[in-house]
Amino acid sequence: MNAEGSKPELRRSLIAVRARLTADDIANAQARLACRALELPELAEAGTVAAYVSVGSEPGTRDLREALRARGVRVLLPVLQEDNDLDWGQDEGPERLVRARRGLLEPDGPRLGPEAVTRADVVLLPGLAVNRRGVRLGRGGGSYDRVLARLDRAGARPALVVLLYDGEVLDEVPGEAHDRPVHAAVTPSAVHRFESL
């Protein structure tokens, strides 16, 4: 797949490919994605990881979150606010997740504030694709652009890692001047690094 055309066209194309995945495809990719991500030294050394709860055909995060919690890592999960900014809560396991707006799952515990992400050692980002320079294509809601801007303002330098399917690391992804490259992309079959930490 190439990145010809606009961001909306590329998003539609990538979402259409994901929509054709079966439940078995998603489950198999989730297990392999977790194994691959756990190979990252940044996650091995992390005390706090900002993650997210995958929904629908997104690359699955459950296995990875459970493995991190089993290691004693504090896992933060986003809570979508009315203005599309993100607050954060602690991941206490799947039984402590509740349905939220836009079909999302969020932790039911105390809110830690939007600044909580600035204390993370690693931030796991959702995305639809990344290019070979580490520019991530998100869904276009802007929530994670705000998170990345918040990290910059705070002088926080966590490892930024996007979780994708194989075939979503592209030669080109439309980018903008404010886009902050990620350090790595993890797919079920590989870790792709874009800049040294």
Question: pLDDT at position 1, please?
Answer: 43
CB 130 within 8 A of CB 190: no
Longest distance between any two alpha carbons in the chain, whole Å: 44
Task: Classify strands 105-107 and 97-99 as parallel, antiparallel or unpaired.
Answer: antiparallel
At residue 169, the 3 state secondary structure works out as: strand
pLDDT in tens, the chain (197 residues): 444 458 889 999 999 999 999 999 999 999 999 999 999 999 999 999 999 999 999 999 999 999 999 999 999 999 999 999 999 999 999 999 999 988 899 999 999 999 999 999 999 999 999 999 999 999 888 899 999 999 999 999 999 999 999 999 999 998 777 778 999 999 999 999 997 44
Q: How far apart are CA 116 and CA 137, in angstroms?
A: 24
52 near 62, Cβ under 8 Å?
no
d(CA 146, CA 138): 12
Q: Which DSSP helix (H) or strand (E) runs through 107?
A: strand 105-107
User: Cα–Cα distance between 50 and 89 in angstroms, integer?
Assistant: 10
Place of tokens 């652009």: 145
Task: Please answer whether residues 113 and 122 qualify as being in contact, where contact means their C-beta atoms are separated by less than 8 angstroms.
Answer: no
130 and 136 Cβ atoms separated by less than 8 Å: yes
